[in-house]
């Protein structure tokens, strides 16, 4: 008997990076991941990879900032599986610029993906979790849920906001046996970060190597990147925790970059 036998998890942004690793691990432990991503082709490829390993998986094209698309994706999941045990609200983007130059449209786009996306997917899944009197929601926060770094005005704002949303959901969800928690990773080498390194090097006028050593990993205890496996482990710990003893919490997984 595996930890997630018979369970269904909707994981947003699961066509790539951290979300994909969570989907692979959830499936490896008996569960069925629903890979909800803007990029349907990549989501399909991830679902095929999971099916090739002998598990079930569903790919759903979804812009998490689009109310109708979220409602449809969750409804399609319910039609197919009849249950949603876990939501991992993970889809995210990054845009780096000094705040004085930050275009309002970019600010709004980033907040929409991270915060509207978390709200819309939470609301849509909670209806089914409340009916089942059971559920677990995990948000992918960041060390930037706890501190600020330059050039990331909307990202830092959104990631702090997820901690507040998680606490609210922990309180409103408790009577229905629904928990909410946040995992806060340090820097992980995913496509999101690989794009960021040259951009940040240019904006700060330093080399890519210096961005990695002197900016991204400077305050870690060992100069190491966090891995997708590290983050997935923490997410599945929260997802599989069975009682309200562990709710409304955030866990930093960052090689000691941020300690609390």
Q: Closer CB to ligand NAD, residue 42 or residue 174?
A: 42
Minimum CB separation from ligand NAD for residue 46, in Å?
Answer: 9
Q: Rounded CA gap, 45 and 19, in Å?
A: 14
Q: Which CB sits closer to ligand NAD, 4 or 187?
A: 187
Q: Which two tokens stand for residue 18?
A: 């951290």
List residues binding ligand NAD (CB under 6 A). Answer: 12-13, 15-19, 37-39, 62-65, 90-93, 113, 117, 140, 142, 185, 187-188, 190-193
Q: Is 260 strand, coil or helix?
A: coil
Q: Which CB, 191 or 205, lies closer to ligand NAD?
A: 191
Question: Minimum distance from CB of 56 to ligand NAD (Å)?
Answer: 20
Is 155 labeled as catalytic in the residue annotation? yes
Minimum distance from residue 153 beta carbon to ligand NAD (Å): 14
Contact predicate 151/200, CB 8 Å? yes
Q: 95, 138 in Cβ contact below 8 A?
A: no
Catalytic residue among 81, 130, 139, 155: 155
Report, in Å, the least distance between residue 176 CB and ligand NAD: 26
Neighbouring residues of 157: CB distance < 8 A, sequence distance ≥ 6: 111
Closer to ligand NAD by CB, 138 or 178: give it: 138
Q: What is the CA radius of gyration of the chain?
A: 18
Return d(Cα 6, Cα 51) in angstroms, integer: 15
CB 37 within 8 A of CB 45: no
User: What residues are labeled active site?
Assistant: 155
């Amino acid at each position: 008997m595996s930890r997630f036998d018979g369970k269904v998890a909707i994981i947003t942004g699961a066509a790539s990076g951290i979300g994909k690793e969570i989907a692979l691990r959830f499936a490896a432990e008996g569960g069925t991941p629903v890979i909800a991503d803007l990029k349907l082709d990549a989501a399909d490829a991830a679902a095929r990879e999971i099916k090739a390993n002998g598990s079930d998986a569903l790919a759903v094209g979804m812009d998490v900032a689009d109310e109708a698309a979220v409602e449809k994706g969750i409804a399609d999941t319910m039609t197919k599986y009849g249950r949603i045990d876990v939501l991992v609200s993970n889809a995210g983007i990054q845009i780096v610029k000094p705040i004085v130059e930050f275009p309002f449209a970019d600010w709004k786009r980033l907040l929409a993906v991270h915060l509207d996306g978390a709200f819309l997917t939470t609301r849509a899944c909670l209806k089914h979790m409340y009916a089942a009197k059971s559920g677990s929601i995990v948000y992918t926060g960041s060390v930037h849920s706890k501190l600020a770094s330059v050039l990331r005005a909307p990202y830092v704002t959104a990631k702090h906001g997820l901690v507040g949303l998680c606490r609210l959901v922990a309180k409103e969800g408790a009577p229905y046996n629904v928990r909410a928690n946040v995992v806060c990773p340090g820097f992980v080498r995913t496509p999101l970060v690989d794009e960021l390194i040259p951009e940040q090097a240019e904006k700060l006028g330093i080399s890519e190597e210096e961005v990695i050593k002197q900016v991204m990993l400077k305050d870690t205890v060992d100069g190491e990147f966090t891995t997708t496996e590290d983050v997935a482990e923490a997410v599945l710990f929260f997802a599989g925790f069975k009682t309200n003893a562990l709710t409304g919490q955030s866990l930093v997984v960052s090689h000691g970059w941020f300690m609390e």
